[in-house]
Chains A and B, each alone.
Chain A
C-alpha cells in the first residue's frame, strides 16, 4: 500500500506529495523503482523522487517551484531547509 502514500501530479515532477504520513524507513514504490524515506515526512509535504544535486530546479505540477540549496537524496524531505524560491525569500517563524 506504500504507493498510495504519495501523489505525483505530473510525469515531469521530481517530487511527490505525501498524502499519508510517512515514517523514516518507509518504502515507497514508484513505477519500476522504489525509494526509502530518509526521515519522517508529514501529510502535505514533499519527498524527493530522485537525486537532486545542489542547484537543481524542483518541479511540481510539471513546473518549477524552487531550486535545491543542498545535495538531496531520493527519499529526502523537501522543504524550506533544502530548497528556496527562484523569486523571493519568505517569512517563516
Chain B
C-alpha cells in the first residue's frame, strides 16, 4: 500500500506541492522571486508565456493547478493578459484547494507583489505541513513515461525495462500513460494489435498517421542529430525503441493533453496538435511532453535516456533511467537507475525492472528522485490546438 495526500475532489497525490503560477511572461519574474526562498520546500513555478488567448493553455494550467500533487496555488498575473485567470482561480477553489491571485498592476508593483506572494506562500506551507498521509492503493497511481536524448541503447535496455515495469504495475491495477505518436511512426500496425477494441485499433493507426502527416509538413521527423550520433539511422528505428516503453499489456485508450484516463489501464497520449501546423513543432522539447503527461494526471514520469538528459519537472517527480552504461558513468549524479548494466552483463532486464519498480514505489512514498534532489523543476507550455477525442478512443 502506498501513501498519499487526499484531496477534496477524492483524488490522491504523492506530493503536497504549492504552485506559483504566472499567467503571462510579464509576470514570470515576480513569480520566480516569490518562489525562490521556498524552492527547496515544495514550491514550484509553472506558467504560460503567451499573451494571446489559447484554449489549450487555459486547460493545461487548470489541469496542472488541480493536479493531485498540488495542495495550493498562487496565481501571479500582470493584469492585461488573455489567459483566463478568473476561471483558473474558480476551478482551483472548486476542487477544494487553497488559491489566491495577485495582480501586479493592482498591487503597487513588483516589490509589493513579491512580498504579498511570499507571505501567502508561507501561510500555505504551514497549512499543508499539517495534512496527514493516507493509504493510497496501487489502483490510484498513474505513471507516465517519456524517452529523451535517445541513442541505440535506449531501445534495448531502459525502454524495455520501463515496459516491464508498466506490465507489472498494470497487473496490480495501476494506470500507465505512454506518448509521442511522432516517435511511434513505423510501429502503428503492431501497436494496433494490442488495442482493447477494433475501433481503438483504427484510432491508434489514425493517430500515428496524423503525426506522420504533421511532421511531413514540418519537413522532418522527430529525430535529432544526437540520435544519429548514437547510432540510430531512421525514425522508425528510433520508434521501435521508444515503443518498447509501453510493454506488452492491452492498450485501453487514447487520450489528449489534460484528458485524464477514464478507467485504469494503459493509455496512449496523443501530443500532436490537430489540423495543419499552426504554432510550430508538436513539442519544442521533452519538458513540454512531460508537462502534458502530468496534466493527464501522471503522479510521476519515468524518463529513459541514452545520450543523457538531466531534466526533471515541476508538479511531479521524474525518475531517470539511463540506458547507456558510459552515459551513466558520466552523469551518475543525475541518474536514478542504471539500465546500462544490462549491456555490460552485470544485470538482466528483469533485475533492472525490479530495481525500477522499487524506485517507483519509494518515490511514490515520498523519497526524492535525483532530479527532485537537484531542484530540477523545468516547465514548458506552448501554444497548441486540439480537437475533441474521436469516438472509439476512450473505453466504454
Contact = CB atoms under 8 A, between A and B. Distances in A.
B152 interface: yes
Interface in B122-154: 151-153
B310 interface: no
A80 B240 contact: no
A52 interface: no
B223 A90 contact: yes
B155 A61 contact: yes
Interface residues of A, number: 30
Contact of B231 (A42, A66, A93): A42
A45 B152 CA distance: 7
Contacts of A17: 152, 156, 231
Interface in B159-211: 185-187, 190
Interface stretch (B5-13, B54-62, B214-222): B214-222
B241 to A, nearest CB: 8
B212 A66 contact: no
Contact of A43 (B225, B231, B235, B240): B231
A54 B233 CA distance: 16
Interface in A9-36: 9, 17-19
Contact of A90 (B156, B231, B235, B306): B235
B326 interface: yes
A53 interface: no
Interface string B232-262: 0111110011000000000000000000000
B231 A45 contact: yes
B154 to A, nearest CB: 9
B371 interface: no
Given A66-B236, A79-B233, A88-B220, 4 more contacts: A18-B231, A43-B231, A61-B155, A63-B190
Interface of B: 151-153, 155-156, 185-187, 190, 212, 215-216, 220-221, 223-225, 228, 230-231, 233-237, 240-241, 306, 324, 326, 343
18 contacts: A44-B324, A46-B231, A63-B236, A63-B240, A65-B240, A78-B233, A79-B231, A80-B233, A84-B234, A85-B234, A85-B236, A86-B234, A87-B185, A88-B185, A88-B212, A88-B215, A89-B221, A90-B220
